[in-house]
Amino acid sequence: MTRDLGGPVELTHAAFAKSDRLRMGPAELLDAQGRPLQGRLRGQPEGYRLSKNQNACQLQRDNHADVRILSSCQCRAVKPG
């Protein structure tokens, strides 16, 4: 995610609590008065899907084939509902 979005990413423990999908975009850079520095957005939000394969958590970016194993995370499958 860091590479995809161009900077550090920190998620809360509840980021995937209600869905296996998440959309994130680049942070907006602001000046001291809170106005956007660049005057325009830097790219579109990216979509990600969290899944469990055997005992491993994995994250896949929408429309990309590569899957990243999240070795420092613990996942558990839940039934939709």
Q: What is the pLDDT tens value at each position of the chain, 81 positions in all?
A: 556 666 677 777 788 888 889 888 777 778 888 887 776 666 678 899 988 888 888 989 898 888 888 888 888 777 765
Q: According to DSSP H, which parts of 1-81 are helical?
A: 2-5
Residue of 47, 58, 53 lying closest to 4 (CA atoms): 47
Report the run of H or E that residue 46 belongs to, with start and end.
strand 46-53
User: What gap in Å lies between CA 14 and CA 25, rounded to an integer?
Assistant: 18
User: What pLDDT score was predicted for residue 77?
Assistant: 73
User: What gap in Å lies between CA 64 and CA 46, rounded to an integer?
Assistant: 11
What pTM did the predictor assign? 0.65
